[in-house]
Amino acid sequence: MDFKDQKTLLEPKSSDDDDRRRASSPMTRKGVYAAISYMTCAVLLIMFNKAALSSYKFPCANVITLFQMVCSSVLLYALRCRKIISFRVNNEIQITNNIPGIFVPLNTLLTTLPLAISYLLYMLVSMESVRGVSVPMYTTLRRTTVAFTMLVEYVLARQKYSRYIVGSVWIIIFGAFIAGARDLSFDAYAYAIVFSANICTAIYLASISRIGKSSGLNSFGLMWCNGLICTPILLLWTWVCGDLQVTANFSHLSSVGFQVVMLLSCVMAFFLNYAVFLNTTLNSALTQTICGNLKDLFTIGIGWILFGGLPFDLLNVAGQSLGFLGSCIYAFCKIRGL
């Protein structure tokens, strides 16, 4: 055996090989728990955000996101200082070139820059995408994110899925268009913005797993670096847009009820972000997207019970049922490894 053959045998498997193997392997028990935790946290967070934005009529969604990121970073910093958590996959590796107070080397922080940029683009484009289309059509177009996620994973990692998985995805997309069939008005600019949001979402989710492997960071470490990069940019953005001044003059700012809702929103956002990173890392970006679609169904049901305002529509019910069926088929295929 020559040196080249020995080197090939000794080289570790690439992240692309790991991604393809994870896509075809059955979901582990830990992966199931991560998916369920994400959906639970996501539904609760939407309820808290809904209460802040609708019940208290808080006008600045960007400020809520800023508060959530600041609270998440402060909590991570405190837990890391107390050595309750670690930011690296291998706790035994001692890094000597960490930036003081940052806990990660500069090159590692720069490695996570694409993840932070894709997150900011996803967040900003998503807010813009709501303006030009109705809620039913927005929901319909956003659910096509699963197709964009599959495409991005194939481009980045040549990751392929079985025909059962692909079939379940098409059932979800078909159900989404059935649900929005009564509002098929076309606006080229609005549609382009929504599809741009889908692409940013797919890139963001696909980047989590790949950057996590290349940087050596665990879910807490990825959240920490994401907060370090995104928080100053978002703070500047809210200041330029005047949202901070609006928040300072908000009539319910000193209300105990509003403060409790905001606190619960920030705490739940921390657990949600951790669940997103954990679910995407343990399972796949596509699984995370499917969980997002499944979460929407529970959100619609709970939101209708708590807040009302959702008229009955047979097509919408049929489309939502198809989406639920497709999500269940996907979950069954992942658990069985089909």
Give the pLDDT of residue 3.
41
Give the pLDDT of residue 4.
44
Give the pLDDT of residue 151.
83
Q: What is the mean pLDDT of the chain?
A: 77
Percent of the chain with pLDDT over 90: 12
Give the pLDDT of residue 93.
54
Angle at 73 between CA 68 and CA 75, to 5 degrees: 95
pLDDT band at 136 (very low <50, low <70, confident <90, very high): low
Task: Kindly state the average pLDDT of the residues 204-220.
Answer: 81
**Which residue, 166, 144, 145, 152, is CA-closest to 24?**
166
129-143, 165-179, 266-280: range with lowest mean pLDDT: 129-143
Q: Could you tell me if 45 and 270 are in contact, meaning their C-beta atoms sit under 8 angstroms apart?
A: no
Dump pLDDT digits (tens) for 34-77.
Answer: 888 888 888 788 778 878 877 788 888 888 888 989 999 999 99
Give the pLDDT of residue 132.
60
Per-residue burial over 100-127, b = 16 or more CB atoms within 10 Å of its CB, e = otherwise:
eeebbeeebbebbeebbbbbbbbbebbe
Q: What are phi and psi of 182, to 5 degrees?
A: -80, -5
Q: Which amino acid is at 255?
A: S
